[in-house]
Amino acid sequence: MPDRSEPNPISGGRDGDSESAEVGGVLLAAGEGTRFEGGNKLLAEVEGTPIVRRAAKTLCRSSVDDIVAVVGHEADRVNEALTDLDLTVRPNENFAAGQSTSVRVGVDAAENADWDAVVFMLGDMPFVSPTTVDTLRAAYANGDGTIVVPTYEEQRGNPVLFGRRHYDALATVSGDRGGRRLIEDHANAVRIDVDDSGVRRDVDYRADLEETTG
């Protein structure tokens, strides 16, 4: 059976109106993780579970309506780690050119699915709470902003929600900056404080695993 919680419907607008918002999740899981020593960091385990699977399950246990995982480096192995989760996998053959290429694949998925907003989740962040994803969605639904960013102890974190009006801009980002320029520059970006240290805990080096206990 798919490992997926029942969605928790949250009302919201299509960037402003009163219709119910369709919010999807995109898991960015295509990178090479070159700073991580000793193999693919997404497949390294925390408490017996691959990092990428833990990140995916955060989305699966949240209220998002649909999920797409973008894979690239060692795609077959990453796919295997995501086996039986309720999500769709999309390949990014240009993953070596940076995270922005995966963002574009995710935007294409969001447009094709006609999502009102998308939550971009990083595949190397295994400690984010599903409640945080729901908090971002609720803030968007309440009209607080069309870009919603979590903060922990006044520090910006991930995942980040983008409303549909930002899809075109996201599709033009380059390199590894992803959507950070939009977050930094857009007047309609809102920061929401969350009680979730996981939004600041990514895994870049093997030492990062030694410092985390889940």
- Where is average pLDDT lowest: 18-22, 90-94, 203-207? 18-22
The whole-number pLDDT of residue 186 equals: 77
Residues 6+ away with beta carbon under 8 Å from 66: 22, 24, 25, 88, 113, 115
| 27 has a pLDDT exceeding 90 | yes
pTM: 0.88
Quote the crossing angle between the two packed helices 51-60 and 130-141, to the nearest 10°.
40
Rounded CA-CA distance 173/161 in Å is: 16
pLDDT grade for 13, boundaries at 50, 70 and 90: very low
> What mean pLDDT comes out for the span 53-64?
98
Helix runs in 44-129, H state only: 51-60, 75-81, 99-113
Rounded CA-CA distance 31/72 in Å is: 7
DSSP state of 114: T
In the chain, where are the structural domains located? 23-210
The whole-number pLDDT of residue 189 equals: 93
Q: For residue 149, give both structure tokens.
A: 């960013």
The topology under which CATH files domain 23-210 is Spore Coat Polysaccharide Biosynthesis Protein SpsA; Chain A (3.90.550)
Rounded CA-CA distance 160/72 in Å is: 21
The whole-number pLDDT of residue 176 equals: 63
pLDDT grade for 6, boundaries at 50, 70 and 90: very low
Higher-confidence residue of 25 and 183: namely 25
In the chain, % of residues over pLDDT 70: 86
